Chain A
């Protein structure tokens, strides 16, 4: 018999609805799995055992009473720890919020609860989602489930590691420059960054507001669609959430026959790990074999994306993080005057990378530098968007690697911030243009580490992205291997 934690989300939810297993059994199994693997993994900052068992018991009572407990009823799910949960501490991986307990749920958390999901815990991440390896968390180390000496990717590294290690059936992450997709790729799972505006950001701790988006990390494409359907949609409390409904995602098996897929030449670069290049090209041949028309395309401003992103994201971050002043919540350092309190609190509460980004962003926005750096980056952002507009006039989706390499060693890129920033080279343009993109496993390298395939779609066309990914997943077995943990 298959262990409960090996079920897909869809199958687990179906069994609960058919009352073949109870929500309590499923939740106990997930908590047992967490207890077993966490010492060697570190995916969670907080495990919500009593809350999860109480919620599962309530779901079981509702089922017994004949109520419809929702499409995710009884399914253990985890949340990245920058998503606010009422009554459960939410740290964003930062000392400054180490003891912060929100008074309310983020909209995505409330929607998952309404769909019946059981929250088993809060996952580690780079501090304020600023990083590509989860090594910038001030509160814990997360290892890659495939190799404990490697990083899980970031910033949603805990979410991806938890899903890969079967500690939960899905997790939410956030993606500002690749923070769902890179860890999904490094951990061999599926990660979906929805179109900007598809999912509410209300109650999600802000990093860069014009780029941040919440999305699911799951073990297969159909499960990602199921979680997306539960969290998507307009939210009056987030003025940037789009008032357009998510189309039905029930034709995932429609195949890629007739789809036009673009292969941007700027995403196959010198210095890429050969196994990554080979695996992604093989995946493209699979899609071609399934009936997709593949053509080379060009996104000529790709080489400017890292600079553009790190100026815009840090500028927005410097403004967003001004709220951490020690007055209303979070850490307060003792000081004799209010001004000293601000400076002492922020000095004690923020880690090195957060300070670096606040400094870079403040510099780019400051008098004398604003036009040369910030406005310039915003103009190049326009050029990057135009690149995608031109390509999507001819293509239905784009196919690329998620990163030039597989998961790197812990400590390998911490000495030079720029080297770490370059980990995001294939993911950040998508955020600058506000597009949906999904990553799924498409191979392993010589060391057995997962390789991720990225599918990028037109704005609000998650359906085509999911459809192409589902066709590839159906035709291959790369989603089947499980990490040794």
Chain B
């Protein structure tokens, strides 16, 4: 399983990760090595086996649509990297 530098860049873009050239080098090698070991999964015949997303056999329950979180605007906004009044402030989105 050789993961190319191009593949690493494609996945990094999807994951919104900026990688330095040496990180791309290292990740290509690491992911190739890891996926090589994981190819053993491909030797198993799983035809007709249902995938498990969750170990519990429960149907997700419904709850009444009520507001339960206390208003904590100020406590939550206090951790904002940048804010204006009661809003989170971010760099310009639209040019």
Whether A347 lies near B51 (C-beta < 8 A) is no
Query: Which of A243, A310, A417 is in CB contact (< 8 Å) with B38?
Result: A310
- Bound-state Cα–Cα, A359 to B32, Å: 12
Chain A residues within an 8 Å CB radius of B75: 103-104
- Give A210 to B51 CA distance when docked, in angstroms: 13
Name the contact of A378 in the complex, choosing from B52, B63, B72, B76 (C-beta under 8 A): B52
Q: Which chain A residues in 354-398 approach chain B with CB under 8 Å?
A: 355-356, 358-360, 362-363, 366, 372-373, 375-383, 385
Q: Is the interface of A mostly helix, strand, loop or mixed?
A: helix
**How distant is the Cα of A239 from the Cα of B60 in the complex, in angstroms?**
7
Q: A226 in the interface, Cβ–Cβ < 8 Å?
A: no
- Indicate if the CB atoms of B88 and A328 lie closer than 8 Å: yes
Say yes or no: A329 contacts B81, CB within 8 Å: yes
**Selected A-B contacts with CB under 8 Å, 14 pairs:** A103-B72, A104-B72, A311-B38, A318-B15, A327-B88, A343-B17, A347-B20, A362-B14, A379-B49, A380-B46, A382-B49, A383-B46, A417-B30, A433-B55
B86 within 8 A of A: no
CA separation between A435 and B23, bound complex, in Å? 37
With A307-B38, A322-B16, A366-B14 already in contact, 18 other A-B pairs whose C-beta atoms are closer than 8 Å:
A236-B68, A243-B61, A311-B41, A329-B81, A342-B16, A343-B16, A347-B18, A347-B19, A355-B17, A358-B17, A360-B34, A362-B15, A375-B51, A380-B44, A380-B46, A381-B51, A383-B49, A434-B54
- Does B67 interact with chain A (Cβ within 8 Å)? no
Interface segment out of the listed A257-265, A271-279, A333-341: A333-341
Q: Residue A242 contacts which of B27, B50, B58, B93 (CB distance < 8 angstroms)?
A: B58
In contact, A304 and B27 (Cβ under 8 angstroms): no
A363 vs B23: C-alpha distance when bound (angstroms): 16
Query: Which B55-80 residues have a C-beta within 8 angstroms of A?
Result: 55-56, 58, 60-61, 63, 68, 72, 75-76, 78-80
In the complex, which residues 24-50 of chain B have their Cβ closer than 8 Å to any Cβ of chain A? 26-27, 30-31, 33-35, 37-38, 40-42, 44, 46, 49-50
Q: Which residues on the B side are within 8 Å of A385 (C-beta)?
A: 52, 55
Q: Does A299 contact B (CB under 8 A)?
A: no
Q: In the complex, what residues of B have CB within 8 A of residue A356's CB?
A: 27, 30-31
Please tell me if A346 contacts chain B, counting CB pairs below 8 Å.
yes
Main secondary structure of the interface of B (DSSP, over half): loop
Is A307 touching B40 in the complex (CB atoms < 8 A)? yes
Q: Are A210 and B54 within 8 A (Cβ)?
A: yes
Contact assessment for A326 and B81 in the assembled complex, using a CB-CB cutoff below 8 Å:
yes
Interface size on B, residues (CB 8 A): 54
Q: Does B21 contact A (CB under 8 A)?
A: no
Measured in the bound complex, the distance between the Cα atoms of B39 and A304 in whole Å is 10
Residues of A within 8 A of B76 (CB): 103, 328-329
Of chain B, the residue at the smallest CB distance from A417 is: B30
Q: Report the Cα distance A372→B44, complex, angstroms.
A: 12
Chain A CB within 8 A of B92 CB? yes
Q: Say whether A308 faces chain B, with CB atoms less than 8 Å apart.
A: yes
The answer, yes or no, to whether B2 is at the interface (CB within 8 Å) is: no
Which 8 A-B residue pairs are closest in the complex by CB-CB distance?
A: A434-B55, A378-B51, A103-B75, A332-B81, A379-B46, A307-B38, A343-B18, A329-B79
Q: Shortest Cβ distance from A388 into chain B, in angstroms?
A: 10
A240, B56: Cβ atoms under 8 Å? yes
Closest to B8 in A: A359
Report A-chain residues with C-beta under 8 Å of the C-beta of B23. 352, 355
* CA A308 to CA B49, docked complex, whole Å: 15
Contacts of B18 in A (CB 8 A): 343-344, 346-347
**In the bound complex, how far is the Cα of B60 from the Cα of A66, in angstroms?**
43
Q: Assess whether B91 is in contact with A335, with CB atoms less than 8 Å apart.
A: yes
List residues 271-323 of chain A with CB under 8 A from any CB of chain B. 301, 303-304, 307-308, 310-311, 318, 322
Contact of A210 among B44, B46, B53 (CB under 8 A): B53
Chain B residues, CB < 8 A from A301: 44
When chains A and B are docked, how far (Å) is the Cα of A433 from the Cα of B11? 29
- Considering residues B37, B38, B50, which has the most beta carbons from chain A within 10 angstroms of its beta carbon? B38
